[in-house]
Every structure is written in structure tokens, then in C-alpha cells.
Amino acid sequence: MAYEKAIVISHERSGTHFLINTLIRNFAYAPDRIDLDYGLGLNLHHPGAVAKFFERFLSLPGPRIAKSHHSIEFLAPHLDTILNHCHVFYIYRDPRDVMTSCWRFMNELEWDEGPKVETVSEYMRSQPRAAMLRYQKSQSETCADRWRDHVSGWLGALNGRKHHALTYVAYEDLHRNFDTTVQQLAKRLHRPCFHPERPDPNTQVVRPWRAEVGSHRDYFNSNDETWLRNRLDAPTEKLLDG
């Protein structure tokens, strides 16, 4: 079944805009995505406000994309209804690259988004704080735990059930095997894509940095590797890229 509307969800710095721009370029979605964030002025802790947002979103004309970095708890009460009308994509990335990109991102921002520390090692061991807390329902001990809980929550969103309108995308697959991955997306969307077009990694992306796999290697040491692995659970440890 083909749906006009799509939602792209991820932990921050996981290739969110890479996937959004891929969908726009290859499947004729409107370029003006809608962010479930500050600009909407929504109380996303209010189930009625969330339901109202999706009611308005679905009423918009043509193929459109909404974007969210929120944990599963925000959308879980509405997920079955959402999946009856929207295709939901969840993109995930090797946590070492996510931690590295988040560390750089937090330090570049002019506002207090989260921990601003000297190293990636400090960042992933820091407790989430400041504006980043808007994406979570409860506190995590560290930023690494926050990533684990976000990804595990979405991977287990349907408690083992599969749904034709819920698709998981690995950033590494989209980056390394772009054409093949786009064709897999085409099958999921029931929309043909004869000549996949790769978006520019520096266009329509929030503060682009290294559009690559393995950027953590310049910042992680063996102690960091061991510490992070010990924080992961079985589903998320499988996402380590080598």
C-alpha cells in the first residue's frame, strides 16, 4: 500500500536529512519538511496535541514529510493510527559516529543544546541536559545510554510485529550502497525509482560535517570502545559497524 505522507524519525545526527533529501529527490515528496520541534509550538507531552498534529499533517495536499527526533514514548499511543496513514522511517547509525557528530554539533551551537565538553569521551559519558531533553520522556545516565534507549525503543516499537509501513534504514547502507538501498525503499513505498539520485551531503542539512562512515576513529581510544560496548544492549550492539 502506498501512502502520500511519510515520517522520518531518528536520534540526532544519525543521517536524518540524508534520508529526507533522498526521499525528496527520488520519490517526489515536497521539499518543505515539517519538524516536530520548537517551531510548531506543540505540547508533545499532550496526547491530544500529538493527535491534532497528525490530523492536520494528513490533511495537507500531496506527498509530504514530517521529521522527529523524539523517543518512542511520545508517539507510541498513536503509532498504530499513524501507520494506517503514513510510512514511518527510522534511520539509525553506528553510535560511535553519532556520539562524535553530537559532540561537535553541541560545541558549535550558540545556544545551550546539551553538554559542551572538550572531548567525545567526555560527551558520551555526560548526562543529557538543556534543550536536548525535549526529545526524551525520562532522564538517562549518559548520552550514550540516551542513544541506546532511543534506538532500542524504536527497534522494539511494535513488540516484534512487522508492519508494511514501518521501515528501518541503516545510515551505513544508505551511504555505502546508495542505489541498492533506494531500490529497497522504492519497494517499501510501492513507488518506482529508475535512476536513483544521491543528494549533496552539504545541501539542506543542519550544520553538515563529515558525511562518512567511521569518523569516530579519529576521536575514540580503546577505553572508549570498551566503555561504550558495555553500555549497549543486544539489539544496539549489533549496530556497531565493525
Angle ∠(82,134,142) on CA atoms, nearest 5: 110
Dihedral sign (CA 222, 242, 127, 18) = positive
How crowded is residue 5: how many other Cβ atoms within 10 Å of its Cβ?
21
pLDDT at 209: 59
Instruction: Report the SS3 class of residue 193.
Output: coil
Domain ranges of the chain: 5-237
Between 40 and 12, the more confident residue is 12
pTM: 0.95
What DSSP element (H or E) covers 88?
Answer: strand 86-92
The residue written with cell numbers 521539499 in the block is 31
Confidence of residue 201 (pLDDT cuts 50, 70, 90): confident
How confident is the model over 206-227, as a mean pLDDT?
Answer: 85
Confidence of residue 208 (pLDDT cuts 50, 70, 90): low
Between 4 and 207, the more confident residue is 4
How confident is the model over 116-143, as a mean pLDDT?
Answer: 98
Cβ within 8 Å of residue 61, ≥6 positions away: none
Confidence of residue 213 (pLDDT cuts 50, 70, 90): confident
CATH number, span 5-237: 3.40.50.300
Confidence of residue 161 (pLDDT cuts 50, 70, 90): confident
Residue 65's Cβ-count burial label (10 Å; 0-12, 13-18, 19+) is buried
Cβ within 8 Å of residue 221, ≥6 positions away: 121
The residue written with cell numbers 519538524 in the block is 35
Confidence of residue 184 (pLDDT cuts 50, 70, 90): very high
- Confirm if 115 and 129 have CB atoms less than 8 A apart: yes
pLDDT (tens digit, 9 = 90+) per residue, 43-94?
Answer: 999 999 999 999 999 999 999 999 999 999 999 999 999 999 999 999 999 9
pLDDT at 241: 85
Say how far apart CA 11 and CA 28 lie, in whole Å: 25
Say how far apart CA 166 and CA 241 lie, in whole Å: 23
How confident is the model over 92-110, as a mean pLDDT?
Answer: 96
